[in-house]
Structure 1
Amino acid sequence: MDFCDKVVVVTGASSGIGAATAKYFARESANVVLIGRNENALNEIAAECEKAKGIKPLIIKAELSNDDEVKNIVTKTIEVFGRIDVLVNNAGYGGKAGILDGIEPYDHIMKTNVRAVYLLTSLCTPHLVKTKGNIVNVSSVAAFRPIKDLHFLPYCISKAALDQFTRCLAVELAKYGIRVNSVNPGATRTNFVLAAGLSKEKAEELYKVRDKVMPLGKVAESEDIADMIVFLASNRARSITGAIHVIDNGENLV
């Protein structure tokens, strides 16, 4: 899966799935564009990426809920590389909230998880048309089932919307040779639940419980998800579009 001379934009690249994905693409000789809010973390990931094949990534610090900063991602990428071949919409926010928490959590989560994805994708699409590139969206099993032990109502709604975005966009862009797919992880060992407001102790307890109840006896690691993302972005998946790929260690079976 050689991505030599290909330009790959990865949002949420400072940690977890995004960081693992960026490093995987770097090992496959891609020019990686790292997007995130934590510049120090991005610098660390960039250094690891560069070690792989000696190719220096482009770092763009951006808040995806800010339209101007989203536009800057595409402007800077084209200024430096002149093309975009793959867009990985990985960044997302998963704050705890239920119907009794008012509209503010919904607005914030939808702005990051859906609106920002829509805007960035729309800005990247003219460049993807030129390269016959492809898009991989990182969704969640929460798109089609509630998260039973956490109140994540707006998050679940946002991921369901993202799945439908994937399907509709795949139909719309197929005539340009652009493929659009989704990867839907189940429980994955990242800092996601910490960012959502759980303490480190509660997060570890949650993972221990998940390890026991998963049919395969474990939760996923970031590298597991990255592996599927890179495969879908590669020519090996040239006949796959509009598909939702679940990686959940059998979570949906219980």
Structure 2
Amino acid sequence: MSFTNKVVIVTGASSGIGAATAISFAKEGANVVIVGRKEQKLQKVKEECAKVGKVPLVVRADVSNDEDVKRVIEETIGKYGQIDVLVNNAGIIGFDGILSDNIMSVFDSIMNTNLRGVVYMTHLAAPHIIKTKGNIINISSVLGKMTYKQIPMVCYSASKAALDHFTRHVAVDLAQYGVRVNTISPGPVKTDLLSNAYNEISTPQSDDEDKTPLGRISDSEEIADLILFVASDKAKAITGSDYVTDNGSMLM
């Protein structure tokens, strides 16, 4: 699955799925643009990409900020002149129930990053992706398709459900230009995001291993492998699809 000289933007690339995805694309010869909020972590990912491929373009940005989103696209086009693949991976998590006092502040924060940021990034990138007949991959979650009784996650789950349907609509909009748009929905994955989330609610991350039929949770690299497949020409007939990779957790 060579991506030689393809230009790939990965948001949320400072750790976890985003970092693994950026490194995997670099291994396959891509010009990678790594986007994230944490400068130190981005520099580490940059070094890892450089070890296996080309030195990536680093853009420190918050996708919930419109000016930052504009800058990501401008800097990418300024350096590479094109965009072939956009991986909208940046996301935040929150714990809330409808009776929570802070429900609206949590809602606004999560939606601004998990949905609005994706919409605006896609809007600005799409004209460039049309030129290359590239594709877009949005990273969702199984929680956009199921409820989780033990931990209230109303806003996070709603953001991912909305992202799923946004993906389908954009897939229809851009199909006429030969652009594919798909979603990947992981279950629990060993990432900083998940670890921090479990620390917040004082629940060990290892608990999730007992809650999947396969008795395990995924590594970021497994999700990156699927992202690269969906972005490649091997998946040229696939658009508007949602790939669930959850070790069977939705079967429960």
Q: Deviation per CA, 1:14-47, whole angstroms, max 9, x where unpaired?
A: 0000000001001000000000000110011011
Aligned to 2:75: 76
The 4+ residue runs of structure 1 with deviation greater than 4 A are: none
| Contact in 1 for aligned 2:135/2:231 (Cα 8 Å) | yes
The Cα shift of 1:147 comes to 2.5
Aligned to 1:67: 66
Give the SS at the match of 1:100. Answer: coil
TM-score by length of 2: 0.96
* Structure 2 Cα separation of the partners of residues 32 and 126 of structure 1: 19
Deviates more, 1:147-156 or 1:32-41: 147-156
Q: Residue type of the partner of 2:186?
A: P
Instruction: Indicate the RMSD between aligned Cα atoms, in angstroms.
Output: 1.3
* Structure 2 Cα separation of the partners of residues 99 and 44 of structure 1: 39
* Structure 1 Cα separation of the partners of residues 76 and 161 of structure 2: 29
* Structure 1 Cα separation of the partners of residues 41 and 206 of structure 2: 27
Aligned to 2:115: 114
Count how many residue pairs are aligned between Structure 1 and Structure 2.
Answer: 250
Identity of aligned residues (%): 49
* Structure 2 Cα separation of the partners of residues 75 and 147 of structure 1: 40
Aligned to 1:235: 233
The Cα shift of 1:201 comes to 9.3
Which one of 194, 205, 208 corresponds to residue 206 of structure 2? Answer: 208
Aligned to 2:9: 9
TM-score by length of 1: 0.96
The Cα shift of 1:132 comes to 0.3
Structure 1 runs not aligned, ≥5 long: none
The yes-or-no answer on 1:51 pairing with 2:51 is: yes
* Structure 1 Cα separation of the partners of residues 199 and 99 of structure 2: 22
Aligned to 1:168: 169
Give the SS at the match of 2:189. Answer: coil
Aligned to 2:131: 130
* Structure 2 Cα separation of the partners of residues 143 and 178 of structure 1: 24
Aligned to 1:249: 247
Q: Deviation per CA, 1:109-159, whole angstroms, max 9, x where unpaired?
A: 111100010000000000001000100000000111012322111000000
Q: Deviation per CA, 1:29-66, whole angstroms, max 9, x where unpaired?
A: 0000000000110011011001102x110000001111
